[in-house]
Amino acid sequence: MDQLIPFDIGSSTEDVLEVVRRYWGFDELRPLQHDAIRAGMDQRDSLVVLPTGGGKSLCYQVPPLLTGRTDIVVSPLISLMKDQVDGLRTNGYPAAALHSGLDPQNRSEAEDFIASGDCRLVFVSPERLVTPWFLNTVEKLGVSTFAVDEAHCISHWGHDFRPEYRQLAVLKERVPGASIHAYTATATERVRDDICAQLALVDPTVLVGNFDRPNLLYRLVPRLDLRGQVREVLHRHENEAVIIYCISRKETERLAGHLQDEGHQAAYYHAGMDAAPRRQTQERFANEELDVIVATVAFGMGIDRSNVRCVVHIATPKSIEHYQQETGRAGRDGLEAECVLLHSPADTMRWQTLMERSAAEGDGGGLAGSLALLDEIRRYCAPGKCRHQALVEHFGQAYDAPGDAGCGACDVCLGETEGLVEATKDAQMILSCVARLQQSYGMGHVADVLRGAKTERIRSLAHDELSTYGLMEGKAQKQIMNLIFQLLDQELLTRSPGEYPVLLLNDASLEVMRGERTVHLVPAKAQRVRKSSRDSASWEGVDMELFERLRGLRTELARERDVPPYLIFGDASLRDMAASKPSNETEFLAVHGVGEKKLKDLGEVFLAAIASHGD
């Protein structure tokens, strides 16, 4: 294959940076990448915990380049391996993968390449790793460094246990003296300990990264009008990649159908689909032929589209771990992205029922544990603390706010939840008024009493003597009615059937009145959030028209070469080009994500497009 000309390199920090610049076009390493790469070079066992998008792969990709070794990466999914190998090759990095998806011709090519010793990184599934051919090759080449990607798959306590991973327990025995480097995004202590024990790591260097994802904007919004709210979010992310997570398969199909009816190009995805359409949908999303995907959590590992600009949950997930994992798929390119969670108290009740049912059927048995996790996310949904802070603290880390105004990237710090504290008070006033009126009156009258109206009816009933009379003085009747409707929607209040319905209290009303429950109400005129992600700072100086043009060029080239567009260039690179407008090779090389191979391959055509722009 077409490789970069080898060059003399040592192993100093400068040498590491040189390689990273040459092959990846990055100017610096992220904090833990240094230490993780060092452990790989020195062959010290290690466990590296970094959130999704944190840059784990670079940590095992760099050492074999510098040392001239052949290293092995164990990976759980064919699609993950394929994407990584394709990406590495477009950077001129000699890599190969061995998996069951190869035809005989490709397999024998890959095997020859590996046996030649020129291949720096071999991706392999755990089953294949322990085959005689492979272990034999490992011995012949003197391979002694193994990276285990998605290492939590080895643990029962992880959210994604894979029995095949258990076979890795024999690695230390089979390859004496080998070093093992485990990588995961799962942060719980139990999983961490389990990984070290299962892989028999010896005195491992444990590196745990910062779990905050500062480029993600978290917005937790009470679900009042699902379709309208989803529409509004999609409006903010026109022509951008959005994943919408639903709990059930049926919901994905229904919502995707509605969105299509409204003219959106959207598709659904869940585990109940046949393999072919399922793969096709995933590929169309990866190839940027499809932007909106409505999915269950089955749409997860293996999505390598790094420019997902928004992840929407239309209901509360069952734990903060799930939430973090799923929102982690947004903004992997480090650029701003939004995470919207539309929640309702009904969601946690629904999960509880599901959990109780599956416990009764003898599945798992960890009911108390699941319910505790559910309770955590329920509390997370209430407005209070900064979302970034709460998430990071959940994973046992301290949060350092970047400024006085908090994180600057969540609904709480942006002041979007202001008024919700009043909302609970408003709800309490309305509900106590319903109670004072003996649950015998309709909405209009309740609203009149609350605003202190001086009507004949109120006087004749002596309702102006009630303690709740005039409690919401200053508000219009319509405004109060709007709040009452919202309480009805959220089932915090009910109505009798019939022609003249009266307002009735239920158990939830009592919880609110006792202060055991926070209420979310939106002002009659919902405040608009930032119109589009394109208003954000990372777009500063970017020539939008040029960006779109380069994006078109990227799609064209991707199609010609039959690779996903992000393998040509990520959005960060395109934005950088559209801002700095390089006019020669040296300037092009300075663009984020441009290494020597990409300069050679793509420099000319992109430079030409930039030069002709604005002519």
CB 453 within 8 A of CB 434: no
Comparing CB distances to ligand ADP, the nearer of 192 and 463 is 192
Positive or negative, the Cα torsion across 16, 17, 18, 24? positive
Instruction: Compare residues 326 and 448 and give the one whose CB is closer to ligand ADP.
Output: 326
224 binds, among Zn ion, ligand ADP, none (CB under 5 to 8 A by kind): none
CA distance 316 to 323: 8
Compose the 539-578 pattern: x for residues touching ligand ADP by CB under 6 A, - for all others.
-------------------------------x--------
By C-beta, is 55 or 63 nearer to ligand ADP?
55
Site string for ligand ADP, 318-357 (x = CB under 6 A): --------------xxx-----------------------
- Indicate whether 30 belongs to the interface with ligand ADP (CB under 6 A): yes
Residue 306 binding target from Zn ion, ligand ADP, none, CB below 5 to 8 Å by type:
ligand ADP
Binder among 22, 43, 54, 577 for ligand ADP (CB under 6 A): 54
598 scored as a contact of ligand ADP (CB under 6 A)? no
Q: Which residues contact 233 (CB under 8 A, 6 or more apart)?
A: 242, 310, 312, 338, 340
Binding to Zn ion in span 412-441, by CB under 5 A = 413
Q: Please select the residue that binds Zn ion; options are 48, 187, 303, 410, rule is CB under 5 A.
A: 410
What is the rounded distance in angstroms from the CA atom of residue 162 to the CA atom of residue 515?
44
Which one of residues 16, 29, 341, 492 is an interface residue with ligand ADP (CB under 6 A)?
29
Say which residue the tokens 């790469």 belong to: 37
- Residue 406 interacting with Zn ion (CB under 5 A): yes
- 11 CA to centre of own chain: 34
Interaction of residue 22 with ligand ADP, rule CB under 6 A: no
Do the Cβ atoms of 349 and 292 come closer than 8 Å? no
Give the rounded distance of the alpha carbon of 361 from its chain centre.
31
Contact predicate 64/122, CB 8 Å: no
The three-state DSSP-derived secondary structure of 291-306 is: CEEEECCCCECECCCC
Q: Choose which of 9, 15, 52, 489 interacts with ligand ADP (CB under 6 A).
A: 52
Contact window for ligand ADP (CB under 6 A) among 51-59, 99-107, 450-458, 577-585: 51-59
Site string for Zn ion, 365-394 (x = CB under 5 A): ---------------------x-x------
When the beta carbons of 88 and 453 are compared against ligand ADP, the nearer one is 88
- Amino acid present at 350: R
Backbone angles phi, psi at 438, to 5 degrees: 60, 30
Q: How far apart are CA 454 and CA 614, in angstroms?
A: 67
Q: Residue 95 or 447: which CB sits closer to ligand ADP?
A: 95
Q: How far is the CB of 64 from Zn ion (least distance, A)?
A: 40
Q: Which stretch binds ligand ADP (CB under 6 A): 50-58, 196-204, 211-219, 384-392?
A: 50-58
Is residue 598 a contact partner of residue 561, using CB atoms and an 8 Å limit?
Answer: no
Q: Which does 407 bind (CB under 5 to 8 A by kind): Zn ion, ligand ADP, none?
A: Zn ion
- Only one of the segments 48-56, 405-413, 464-472, 596-604 lies at the binding site for ligand ADP (rule: CB under 6 A); that segment is 48-56
215 is a contact residue toward ligand ADP (CB under 6 A)? no
Q: For residue 50, state whether it binds ligand ADP (rule: CB under 6 A).
A: yes
User: With b meaning 16 or more CB within 10 Å and e meaning fewer, what string describes 236-258?
Assistant: bbeebbbbbbbbebebbbebbeb
Query: Please, what is the minimum distance in Å from the beta carbon of residue 394 to Zn ion?
Result: 14
Q: Please pick, from the candidates 22, 56, 89, 219, the single residue that binds ligand ADP as defined by CB under 6 A.
A: 56
DSSP string, 3-25: -PPP----SSHHHHHHHHHHHH-
- In sequence order, which residues have a C-beta less than 8 Å from that of residue 372 and are 6 or more positions away? none
Residues 145 and 63: beta-carbon distance below 8 Å: yes
Q: How far is the CB of 570 from ligand ADP (least distance, A)?
A: 6
Q: How many chain residues interact with ligand ADP (CB under 6 A)?
A: 18
Q: How far apart are the first and last CA of the chain?
A: 38
The secondary structure of residue 121, as a DSSP letter, is E
Q: Does 407 bind Zn ion (CB under 5 A)?
A: yes
Q: What H or E segment, with its residue span, contains residue 569?
A: none
Give the dihedral sign, CA 86/590/118/70. negative
For every residue of 425-463, DSSP letters joined together read HHHHHHHHHHHHTTT---HHHHHHHHHT---HHHHHHTG
**From the list ligand ADP, Zn ion, none, partner contacted by residue 332 (C-beta under 5 to 8 A by kind):** ligand ADP
User: CA 59, CA 44: separation in Å to the nearest integer?
Assistant: 13
Residue nearest to ligand ADP (CB): 55
Which member of 22, 38, 53, 340 binds ligand ADP (CB under 6 A)? 53
For the record, the structure tokens of 527 come out as 């405040």
Least Å from the CB of residue 290 to ligand ADP = 20
Give the burial string for 458-497 (b: 16+ CB within 10 Å, else e): beeeebeebebbebbeebebebbbbbbebbeebebbbeee
Q: Cα–Cα distance between 132 and 125 in angstroms, integer?
A: 14
Nearest distance in Å: CB 370, ligand ADP: 26
Among positions 384-413, residues that touch ligand ADP (CB under 6 A) are none
Q: Which is nearer to ligand ADP, 236 or 305 (CB)?
A: 305
**x/- string (CB under 6 A) for ligand ADP, residues 184-203?**
--------------------
Q: Of the ranges 30-38, 263-271, 279-287, 406-414, which one interacts with Zn ion (CB under 5 A)?
A: 406-414
Site residues (vs Zn ion, CB under 5 A) = 386, 388, 406-407, 410, 413
Per CB under 6 A, residues contacting ligand ADP are 26, 28-30, 33, 50, 52-58, 306, 332-334, 570
